[in-house]
């Protein structure tokens, strides 16, 4: 079947170009070769009947398909088309498939009963079943908008009721029925003949001489009648003969089921053919009920109608969007679509008083998948799965419950309650389950654009004929709504269930394996019940969670549409518990009006708790989602889409303007008819007078002062009427027709005058009006009358002369006294005019406001000053006297217009009439939009929300951790209300702020009816004390409440034709009832520092960098364990083995589902760039950076990274490994073999997953505690992991197995063995812990450190009475330690320690029986063998609890600061006694010192000048302490027999391996280096600080300063140094001089012309290091733009020139402070200046600040 017609593109372009009539003509004349074709065909059509007794009809279609062909444009070249179908005329078509070939089986059930009913009478027709069963194979439908529009347009010509073909057929049928319509005489004749044929006398008044009809004649008449007409006439003829037996059960059942009755048995009333309503009806006679029974039981809808269809698979193909450059095709696959439809007649139901179901429909879908097409999206960056397929939009979940099969289930039922006004109820049950929706931005946008384009069907535009028909139909609807007899009352009951639905938000739109956020909806119930306009909506969701998830890389069932992903074991990002939403709508009507006044909508929202966990990974994920959605906005701004959108907007605007013009013409016509009382078609003078009067008295019933003032005076009424007649009837014919008025208002609405002859609106130009540019009509008569804006502009004198009889000058304001007016007659003239115009008496205002009366007085006297004089001299005395007589003294009688003299009536009759046209047209548009009058005038919407607890946390996402910040809101409540009009805009109020008379008279609006929001809550903020892992209160519970309000006001502006001017006001009020207490302790600032550091890294780019760094560091440790010390290269097999080890722990998810060979290929791709030879770690590092794009943001949460800085190997496992081993009775040694070993200085990842948890379908539980074992010590179990809290663990030595062994020697350092666990706070959501000892070295400058072990022969330092203890109170402690360190064994060494890094001390050094000394070498001094004073690594030496002077000197000479921090000691739960009293002893037992040795420079020099400087410093060494030592300790071998390895903790005492000479094993510095002098030459940038090391604080230091000037190579010059400055460091209060001062006197330093600086030396608080600052306190900057000459007085005159174009400032010392020394005081200078030339604007422009200084004005004469 081929249908030929215009294509959709041709129809759209034609209807956009022409109007409706011309467009239809153009489409009708469209030639055949430009028309499109719609082809529907099948390869095979088979028709058969079933062989059973039912004899159902079967239709079988094979290869049923449909396609659309669009004609190709003709070309002159022959052979340009190689494909296509040609018709006889040679037209070629481009064919596009709409439906691909598929098979259909149609089974028609109930053929025999239908044939019997159609050809004869079936008594059991209403019990029959007529059905249609449809079964199809896989159906593929292409949703191409243009092609589908073409199909709809082609079939619209045959199916649309308004199509020309259908209208022509209906016209023929109507004409035929008119010809066959029987007259009343023929009907009576038929009744008479039928009664006679049955032997019954017809008792109606009928002509007895009429002949009787024969049977053939009666059959001819019956052919012209319908079945209902025949039954009606026969019952009318046999009303006396026919009797229904009482025992007729069928008739009795019909009366029962219809709940009807017969009023009077045997009544002779004729049966009525109108049987509406069918229920609860009272029939006048049995025949009338019988007629209804026969008609209803034999109608086509009487039997049961059942339609069933089943589609095995339905594929909806969404093609490319031709208007978008980034179009992505997609396919919506719906599996196993089945539907059952059943309809029955409710009239014959066996339910008498219960609702009756008469329509039921069941719809179910077994599977739903929305995939991306394989072709057409290669150029767009989209996310793919591992198998290469694109990530789609919808998939099915892998449900464990085998009973759940359908993803979509719909149950629709329609019931009817049998009443006189039938109540119809619609019941809808929708269930949606087991579906995963992926928010894939670009494919979703592309698909929505195509789907929205499908609704752009180019329907036939509304013509004048159809518009008139619509108006008539709307009038019929209005009449029906007014009677409201047969409108069915509708009720709805909608229940929606959503179970196990997940919405997956892609963090990275190009890589789904980055991670997703799963918004899981376990169960949500939505119930909606309505009864007319009232109803209730309830939404009851269970717990709603937004969780982090990871899409599985192994998708075995992806072809079946099942997507696999797993939830990460983290805290949910968003959790909503106990939520409930209830919305109730209650209509409020007026008893006197059928239109509803308002609809009250109350919404209540409640929730038990609302929690948002803002972890770093959650913030990064949300930012990533926001960036993905940003693509939607950017992709929407393409040029092609903008062009299409602009065309649609122009077309829409054009249609709106054209409709608006028509609506306004209709409104004008209606107003014209209302004015034309005699219906003559013309307006007479008296009709115009009444119209003008009605315009100004439209709101006269309003008691407001403004409306009273709007009434016209006699002269104003005459003026308005004359002007209106002159405009609409310029020829003075005393008759104005509608055409003249229409032309006038058209010109006014489009602002057409002498200067603007063409309308600006395109729709107005296309209305066919007269072209005024070629018209001879004079348009100046459109000039409007003059209206004053201020009443004081009224200054005419003609009325003054008429009343007073005097010729006066208005400017003088000297009016004669009233007694002299017209010799006493003027007062009577005034009172007559006053009473006639205002309606008041001399002693009363008759209920009017004083403002309106005074305004009217000014207008009819035409003079403001004279009206004011009359009021004060005549009216006010009379009113005051009348008030005194009545006892009222509070009446206002003064003149009030001086405060508000604005003229309210500032528009004329034409303006008001035009405004009335706009109002009527707007009402018609609103009525046309809804089809009937607006049922609702106003919506009152109220929303209230109550949340018991709302929590906001920021910190780690692990479930076993505490947040850094915890914000909690208690009892959050919010209530809001809004008043909306039927157009869903805020209801505006009249602005009476300018009306003085209305003050105090207006009623205050009810607050419940305004637009407001009330809120209240209690806020509490807690933070994490990192040191104690305890939540502390930052902000105590604080109540807060307030409100916000929004109001819209309108002001009357009658000159504005488009409506009233509206303004809005917005106010916010927050009440804080008491003081706000904030507990900001030092611990809070530590937490805030960590919080700011974590927030700074919470962006996707920083997050990825940190993840890559973690991966590289992890692989590097495994790589280092596999190489030797000589090379960094591995073979390919060894490199692959290293990557396998890393993948087994760290990349398990990335390699999920891969077999061994495929996994190895993936790992080998990391170094695939290397063709041959060994592999270096740099090659693997480059591969790791390339493959990092697929790493999941949440992958690091399942492991904990441990860095071993203890100095010994550690064995680590999660706590559940130890618990399982103990439960199974496994020995400790066997369990230790299963622990993971972490070598010294290595980093290892420990899985936190439970050993028995292998199911990835649900979020598994992570173990937050580990067990640790260190050789030589007892095992530590139950170690809690925290990403923020540092902890210390006591190490208990393992006892000797030999009971005769000696007692363990106490360590020499005095530090108890502790294991300190320090978390890395910048590790995102992954946990990184560093395991170290309790003493750490940290430096501020690059250094080299060396630790040596001292001999047991302590010599001079040996304490009396002991064998091997050092006496720290002896003099010259530093030189003695230096002597002992010379030649000592080196046990630990780091060649380079960078600035800001730390180096923990090995545990064996702290727990050794030997003394150890720390040696520090500065790497910035240039002397690579210059060592600082040694530091004894003992607790007493470092802490210096007794404040020993010798120890303090050693600290200062070594340049160290000892920092102590008391940390918590881990207490095992098995040994913890909760009954311990919180005393000082228990606090000391629960905490321990964590010690940090901070290495600082000896001297700091800061540059605070605006230019860089050069500093030359030197110092001479005088080692008096060393010269006091006369004896020299010779070096000898240190193989002391007294030392044994048993004295230490173990035999693993650290030593340097690979030493080949004694000089590398022992500390042997050169002797002269201890007495070397210091010299340095450095450049210090502006604002920079120089750190000097290698100097002595016991000696002064000398410096010289010079400006750092970069001279060109061709210019030779020398640096001009300042004078030498001696800084006495020995006089400062440092560790070497406790009695010194904190600062030195300031010194004036001259470093060049115009540059005087000060040198300030003081001791830096906190670190005790001398700080030298070079600065200038006074700067002289020339911003005048003039050349200046300075004269400086310093004993003699110096002159300096300044160009005034910027540059460096002049720095001259002018201070005379008495706090400085005498030299500094006497160095002050006096400065004077003189300008040399006037300023220039070009020079001043960059210096002058106009905002603060004003506008710059340069006078040429200055």
Residue 102, preceding bond cis, omega within 30 degrees?
Answer: no
1487 near 1463, Cβ under 8 Å?
yes
Show Cβ contacts of residue 216 under 8 Å, excluding neighbours closer than 6 positions: none
What pLDDT does 473 receive? 38
pLDDT band with cut points at 50, 70 and 90 for residue 1002? very low
pLDDT higher than 50, residue 781: no
340 near 412, Cβ under 8 Å?
no
197 near 215, Cβ under 8 Å?
yes
786 near 802, Cβ under 8 Å?
no
Query: Which has the closest alpha carbon to 66: 39, 103, 35, 102?
Result: 39
What pLDDT does 468 receive? 45
Highest mean pLDDT among 155-169, 460-474, 878-892: 878-892
Rounded Cα gap, residues 1695 and 853, in angstroms: 83
At 736-771, the pLDDT tens digits run 777 777 777 777 766 666 656 666 665 555 555 555
Strands (DSSP E) found in 955-1100: 965-981, 989-990, 1011-1025, 1030-1051, 1061-1071
Show Cβ contacts of residue 38 under 8 Å, excluding neighbours closer than 6 positions: 2, 3, 5, 66, 67, 68, 69, 150, 151, 154, 155
Give the SS3 label for residue 926: helix
Cross-strand partners of 108: 57, 132
At 580-606, the pLDDT tens digits run 999 998 887 655 454 556 788 899 999
Q: How many CA atoms lie within 13 A of 1298 on its CB side?
A: 5
pLDDT higher than 60, residue 249: yes
DSSP state of 217: H
147 near 454, Cβ under 8 Å?
no
Cross-strand partners of 342: 306, 360
pLDDT higher than 90, residue 952: yes
Quick one: CA dihedral 1193, 1197, 1203, 1209, positive or negative?
A: negative
Cα–Cα distances (Å) from 652 to 408, 466, 660, 761, in that order, read 37, 20, 12, 13
* Mean pLDDT to the nearest integer, 199-226: 76
Rounded Cα gap, residues 1673 and 1402, in angstroms: 50
pLDDT band with cut points at 50, 70 and 90 for residue 157? low
Show Cβ contacts of residue 1654 under 8 Å, excluding neighbours closer than 6 positions: 1642, 1643, 1644, 1645, 1670, 1671, 1672, 1673, 1709, 1720
Helix (H) or strand (E) holding 1393, with range, is strand 1385-1393
Task: Average the pLDDT over each of 179-193, 729-743, 1069-1083, 1320-1334 and give the range with the smallest value.
Answer: 729-743
What pLDDT does 326 receive? 65
What pLDDT does 707 receive? 45
* Mean pLDDT to the nearest integer, 1100-1128: 78
**DSSP H helical ranges for 313-437:** none
What pLDDT does 1125 receive? 60
997-1000's contacts with Cβ under 8 Å and 24+ in sequence apart are 997/705, 997/849, 997/850, 997/851, 997/852, 997/896, 998/704, 998/705
* Mean pLDDT to the nearest integer, 402-413: 80
Tokens 């209206």 correspond to what residue?
787
The distance from CA 1629 to its chain's CA centroid, rounded to whole angstroms, is 60
State the distance between the two ends of the chain, measured CA to CA, in whole angstroms. 98
At 352-395, the pLDDT tens digits run 777 888 899 999 999 999 998 876 556 677 888 888 888 889 99
* Mean pLDDT to the nearest integer, 1291-1313: 69
Helix (H) or strand (E) holding 94, with range, is strand 92-109
1322 near 1346, Cβ under 8 Å?
no
Quick one: CA dihedral 82, 84, 85, 86, positive or negative?
A: negative
Cα–Cα distances (Å) from 620 to 162, 338, 516, in that order, read 57, 44, 11
* Mean pLDDT to the nearest integer, 295-301: 82
Give the SS3 label for residue 1200: strand
1367 near 1434, Cβ under 8 Å?
no
At 1657-1716, the pLDDT tens digits run 998 877 788 999 998 887 887 777 778 888 877 655 667 777 766 666 777 766 544 444
Kindly calculate the radius of gyration of the chain based on its CA atoms and give it in whole angstroms.
51
318 near 331, Cβ under 8 Å?
yes
Q: What is the mean pLDDT of the chain?
A: 78
Rounded Cα gap, residues 1668 and 1511, in angstroms: 12
The first and second tokens of residue 1454, run together, are 């070594």
pLDDT higher than 90, residue 1559: no
Higher pLDDT, 277 or 1653: 1653
Helix (H) or strand (E) holding 736, with range, is strand 736-737
1573 near 1516, Cβ under 8 Å?
yes
Query: Which has the closest alpha carbon to 1308: 1551, 1553, 1549, 1565?
Result: 1549
Tokens 């170690």 correspond to what residue?
1279
Rounded Cα gap, residues 625 and 633, in angstroms: 13
Quick one: CA dihedral 193, 199, 201, 204, positive or negative?
A: negative
Rounded Cα gap, residues 269 and 248, in angstroms: 22
Cross-strand partners of 1645: 1653
What pLDDT does 235 receive? 82
Quick one: CA dihedral 1700, 1701, 1702, 1703, positive or negative?
A: negative
What pLDDT does 378 receive? 62
The first and second tokens of residue 702, run together, are 């309003």
Task: Average the pLDDT over each of 297-301, 346-350, 618-622, 628-632 and give the range with the smallest value.
Answer: 628-632
Cross-strand partners of 1331: 1204, 1317
* Mean pLDDT to the nearest integer, 241-248: 72
Higher pLDDT, 1059 or 834: 834
Please provide residue 1423's backbone torsions phi and psi, each rounded to the nearest 5 degrees: -100, 100
DSSP state of 872: I
* Mean pLDDT to the nearest integer, 847-862: 85
* Mean pLDDT to the nearest integer, 271-292: 69
Please provide residue 91's backbone torsions phi and psi, each rounded to the nearest 5 degrees: -80, 130
Please provide residue 1254's backbone torsions phi and psi, each rounded to the nearest 5 degrees: -115, 0
Please provide residue 1363's backbone torsions phi and psi, each rounded to the nearest 5 degrees: -95, -40
Rounded Cα gap, residues 6 and 11, in angstroms: 6
What pLDDT does 270 receive? 43
Rounded Cα gap, residues 340 and 309, in angstroms: 7
Determine how many CB atoms are found less than 10 A away from the CB of residue 1639. Answer: 15
231 near 295, Cβ under 8 Å?
yes
Cross-strand partners of 1276: 1268
What pLDDT does 1301 receive? 45
Query: Which has the closest alpha carbon to 739: 688, 698, 683, 695?
Result: 683
Higher pLDDT, 166 or 126: 126
Strands (DSSP E) found in 261-397: 261-262, 282-283, 304-318, 330-343, 356-372, 394-397
1283 near 961, Cβ under 8 Å?
yes
614 near 574, Cβ under 8 Å?
no
Strands (DSSP E) found in 799-937: none
**DSSP H helical ranges for 181-243:** 184-197, 215-223, 227-237
Burial class (CB in 10 A: 0-12, 13-18, 19+), 1023: buried
Show Cβ contacts of residue 1431 under 8 Å, excluding neighbours closer than 6 positions: 1413, 1414, 1415, 1416, 1437, 1438, 1450, 1451, 1454, 1456, 1493
């Amino acid at each position: 079947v081929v249908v030929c017609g215009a294509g959709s593109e041709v129809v759209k372009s034609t209807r956009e170009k022409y109007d409706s009539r011309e467009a239809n003509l153009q489409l009708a004349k469209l030639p055949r070769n430009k028309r499109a074709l719609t082809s529907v065909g099948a390869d095979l059509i088979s028709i058969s009947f079933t062989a059973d007794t039912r004899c159902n009809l079967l239709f079988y279609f094979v290869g049923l398909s449909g396609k659309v062909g669009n004609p190709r444009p003709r070309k002159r070249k022959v052979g340009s088309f190689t494909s296509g179908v040609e018709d006889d005329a040679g037209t070629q078509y481009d064919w596009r498939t709409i439906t691909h070939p598929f098979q259909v089986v149609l089974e028609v059930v109930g053929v025999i009963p239908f044939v019997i009913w159609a050809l004869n009478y079936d008594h059991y027709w209403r019990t029959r079943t007529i059905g249609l069963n449809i079964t199809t194979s896989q159906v593929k439908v292409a949703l191409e908008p243009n092609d589908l529009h073409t199909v709809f347009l082609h079939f619209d010509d045959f199916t649309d009721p308004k199509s020309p073909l259908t209208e022509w057929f209906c016209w023929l049928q109507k004409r035929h029925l008119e010809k066959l319509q029987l007259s009343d005489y023929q009907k009576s004749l038929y009744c008479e003949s039928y009664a006679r044929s049955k032997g019954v006398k017809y008792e109606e008044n009928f002509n007895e001489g009429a002949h009787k009809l024969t049977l053939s004649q009666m059959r001819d008449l019956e052919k012209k009648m319908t079945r209902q007409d025949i039954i009606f006439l026969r019952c009318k003829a046999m009303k006396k003969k026919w009797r229904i037996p009482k025992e007729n059960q069928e008739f009795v059942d019909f009366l029962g089921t219809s709940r009807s009755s017969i009023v009077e048995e045997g009544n002779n009333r004729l049966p009525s053919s109108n049987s509406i309503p069918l229920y609860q009806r009272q029939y006048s006679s049995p025949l009338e009920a019988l007629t209804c029974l026969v008609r209803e039981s034999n109608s086509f809808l009487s039997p049961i109608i059942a339609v069933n269809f089943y589609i095995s698979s339905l594929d909806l193909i969404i093609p490319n969007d031709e208007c978008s450059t980034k179009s992505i095709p997609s396919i919506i696959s719906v599996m196993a679509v089945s539907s059952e439809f059943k309809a029955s007649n409710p009239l014959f139901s066996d339910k008498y008083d219960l609702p009756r179901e008469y329509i039921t429909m069941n719809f179910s879908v077994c599977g739903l998948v929305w995939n991306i097409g394989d072709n057409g999206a290669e150029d767009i960056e989209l996310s793919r799965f591992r198998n290469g397929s694109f990530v789609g939009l919808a998939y099915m979940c892998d449900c464990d419950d085998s009973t759940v099969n359908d993803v979509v289930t719909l149950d629709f039922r329609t019931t009817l309650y049998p009443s006189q006004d039938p109540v119809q109820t619609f019941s809808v049950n929708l269930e949606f389950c087991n579906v995963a929706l992926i928010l894939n931005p670009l494919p979703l946008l592309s698909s929505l654009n195509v789907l929205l384009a499908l609704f752009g069907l180019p329907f036939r535009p509304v013509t004048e004929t159809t518009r008139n028909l619509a108006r008539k139909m709307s009038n019929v609807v209005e009449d029906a709504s007014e009677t409201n007899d047969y409108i069915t009352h509708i009720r709805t009951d909608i229940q929606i269930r959503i179970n196990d639905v997940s919405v997956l938000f892609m963090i990275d739109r190009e890589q789904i394996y980055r991670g997703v956020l799963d918004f899981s909806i376990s169960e949500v119930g939505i119930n909606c019940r309505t009864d007319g306009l009232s109803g209730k909506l309830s939404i009851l969701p269970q717990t709603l969670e937004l969780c982090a998830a990871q899409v599985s890389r192994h998708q075995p069932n992806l072809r079946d549409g099942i997507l696999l992903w797993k939830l990460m074991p983290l805290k949910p990002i968003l959790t909503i518990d106990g939520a409930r939403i209830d919305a109730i709508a209650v209509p409020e009507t007026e008893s006197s009006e059928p239109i509803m006044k308002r609809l009250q909508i109350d919404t209540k929202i409640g929730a038990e708790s609302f929690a948002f966990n803002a972890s770093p990974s959650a913030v990064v994920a949300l930012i990533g989602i926001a960036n993905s959605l940003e693509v939607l906005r950017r992709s929407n701004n393409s040029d092609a889409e903008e062009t299409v959108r602009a065309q649609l907007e122009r077309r829409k605007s054009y249609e709106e303007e054209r409709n608006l013009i028509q609506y306004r013409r209709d409104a004008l016509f209606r107003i014209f008819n209302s004015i034309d009382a005699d219906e003559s078609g013309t307006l007479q003078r008296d009709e115009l007078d009444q119209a003008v009067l009605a315009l100004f008295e439209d709101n006269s019933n309003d008691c407001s002062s403004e409306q009273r003032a709007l009434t016209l005076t006699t002269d104003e009424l005459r003026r308005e009427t004359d002007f209106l007649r002159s405009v609409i009837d310029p020829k003075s014919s005393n008759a104005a027709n509608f055409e003249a008025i229409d032309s006038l208002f058209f010109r006014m609405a489009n602002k057409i005058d002498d200067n603007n002859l063409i309308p600006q609106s395109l729709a107005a130009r296309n209305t066919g009006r007269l072209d005024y540019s070629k018209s001879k009509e004079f348009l100046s008569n459109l000039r409007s009358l003059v209206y004053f804006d201020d009443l004081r502009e009224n200054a005419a004198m003609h009325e003054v002369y008429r009343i007073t009889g005097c010729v006066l000058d208005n400017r003088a304001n000297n009016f004669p006294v009233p007694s002299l007016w017209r010799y006493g007659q003027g007062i009577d003239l005034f009172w007559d005019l006053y009473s006639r115009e205002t309606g008041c008496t001399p002693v009363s205002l008759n209920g009017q406001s004083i403002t309106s009366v005074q305004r009217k007085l000014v207008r009819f006297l035409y003079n403001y000053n004279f009206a004011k004089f009359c009021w004060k001299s005549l009216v006010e005395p009379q009113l005051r006297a009348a008030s005194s007589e009545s006892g009222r003294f509070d009446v206002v009688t003064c003149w009030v217009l001086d405060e508000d003299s604005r003229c309210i009536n500032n528009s004329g009759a034409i303006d008001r009439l035009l405004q009335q046209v706009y109002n009527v047209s707007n009402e018609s548009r609103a009525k046309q939009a809804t089809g009937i009058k607006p049922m609702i005038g106003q919506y009152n919407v109220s929303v209230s929300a109550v949340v018991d607890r709302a929590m906001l946390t920021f910190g780690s996402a692990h479930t076993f951790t505490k947040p850094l910040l915890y914000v909690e809101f208690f009892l959050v409540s919010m209530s809001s209300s809004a008043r909306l009009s039927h157009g869903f805009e805020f209801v505006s109020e009249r602005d009476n702020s300018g009306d003085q008379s209305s003050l105090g008279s207006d009623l205050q609006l009810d607050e419940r009816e305004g637009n407001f929001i009330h809120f209240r809550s209690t806020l509490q903020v807690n933070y994490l004390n990192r040191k104690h892992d305890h939540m502390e209160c930052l902000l105590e519970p604080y109540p807060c409440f307030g409100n916000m309000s929004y109001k819209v006001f309108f002001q009357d502006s009658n000159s504005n034709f488009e409506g009233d001017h509206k303004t809005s006001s917005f106010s916010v009020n927050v009440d804080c009832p008491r003081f706000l207490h904030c507990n900001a302790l030092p611990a809070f600032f530590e937490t805030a520092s960590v919080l700011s550091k974590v927030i700074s890294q919470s962006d996707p780019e920083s997050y990825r960098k940190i993840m890559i760094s973690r991966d590289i560091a992890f692989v590097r440790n495994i790589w280092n364990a596999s190489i030797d010390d000589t090379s960094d290269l591995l073979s390919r097999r060894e490199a692959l083995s290293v990557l396998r080890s890393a993948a087994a722990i760290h990349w398990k998810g990335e390699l999920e589902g891969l077999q061994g060979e495929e996994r190895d290929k993936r790992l080998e791709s990391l170094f695939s760039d290397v063709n041959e030879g060994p592999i270096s770690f740099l090659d693997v590092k480059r591969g790791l950076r390339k493959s990092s794009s697929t790493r999941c943001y949440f992958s690091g949460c399942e492991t904990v990274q441990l860095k071993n800085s203890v100095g010994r190997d550690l064995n680590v496992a999660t706590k559940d490994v130890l618990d399982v081993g103990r439960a199974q009775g496994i020995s400790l040694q066997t369990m230790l073999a299963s622990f993971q070993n972490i070598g010294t200085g290595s980093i290892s990842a420990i899985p936190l997953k439970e050993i028995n948890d292998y199911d990835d379908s649900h979020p598994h539980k992570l173990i937050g505690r580990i067990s640790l074992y260190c050789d030589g010590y007892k095992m530590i179990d139950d170690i809690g992991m925290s990403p923020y809290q540092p902890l210390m663990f006591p190490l208990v030595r393992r006892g000797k197995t030999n009971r005769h062994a000696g007692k363990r020697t106490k360590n020499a350092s005095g530090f108890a063995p502790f294991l300190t666990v320090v978390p890395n706070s910048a590790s995102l959501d992954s946990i990184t812990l560093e395991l170290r000892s309790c003493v750490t070295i940290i430096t501020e400058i690059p250094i080299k450190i060396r630790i040596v072990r001292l001999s047991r022969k302590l010599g001079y330092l040996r304490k009396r009475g002991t064998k091997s203890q050092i006496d720290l109170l002896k003099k010259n402690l530093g030189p003695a330690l230096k002597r002992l360190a010379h030649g000592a064994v080196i046990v630990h060494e780091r060649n380079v320690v960078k600035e800001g890094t730390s180096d923990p001390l090995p545990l064996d050094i702290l727990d050794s029986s030997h003394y150890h000394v720390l040696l520090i070498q500065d790497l910035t001094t240039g002397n690579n063998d210059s060592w600082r004073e040694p530091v004894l690594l003992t607790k007493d030496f470092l802490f210096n609890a007794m404040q020993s002077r010798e120890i303090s000197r050693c600290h200062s000479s070594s340049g160290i600061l000892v920092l102590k921090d008391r940390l918590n000691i881990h207490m095992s739960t098995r040994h913890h006694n909760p009954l311990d009293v919180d005393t000082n002893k228990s606090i000391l037992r629960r905490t321990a010192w964590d010690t940090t040795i901070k290495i600082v420079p000896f001297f700091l020099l800061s540059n605070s000048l605006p230019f860089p400087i050069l500093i030359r410093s030197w110092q001479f060494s005088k080692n008096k302490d060393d010269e006091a030592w006369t004896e020299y300790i010779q070096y000898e071998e240190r193989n002391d027999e007294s030392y044994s390895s048993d004295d230490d903790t173990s035999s693993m005492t650290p030593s340097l391996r690979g030493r080949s000479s004694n000089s590398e094993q022992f500390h042997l510095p050169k002797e002269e280096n201890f007495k070397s002098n210091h010299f340095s030459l450095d450049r210090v940038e502006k604002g920079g600080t120089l750190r000097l090391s290698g100097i002595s604080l016991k000696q002064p230091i000398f410096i010289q300063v010079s400006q750092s000037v970069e001279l060109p190579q061709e210019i030779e010059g020398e640096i001009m140094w300042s004078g030498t400055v001696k800084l006495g460091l020995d006089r400062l209060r440092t560790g070497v001089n406790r009695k010194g001062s904190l600062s030195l006197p300031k010194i004036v330093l001259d470093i060049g012309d115009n540059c005087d600086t000060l040198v300030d030396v003081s001791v830096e608080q906190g670190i005790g290091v001398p700080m030298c600052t070079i600065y200038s306190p006074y700067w002289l900057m020339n911003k005048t733009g003039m050349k200046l000459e300075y004269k400086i007085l310093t004993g003699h005159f110096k002159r300096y020139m300044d160009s005034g174009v910027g540059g460096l400032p002049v720095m001259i010392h002018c201070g005379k402070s008495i706090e400085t020394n005498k030299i500094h005081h006497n160095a002050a200078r006096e400065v004077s200046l003189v300008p040399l030339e006037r300023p220039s604007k070009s020079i001043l422009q960059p210096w002058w600040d106009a905002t603060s200084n004003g506008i710059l004005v340069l006078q040429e004469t200055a």
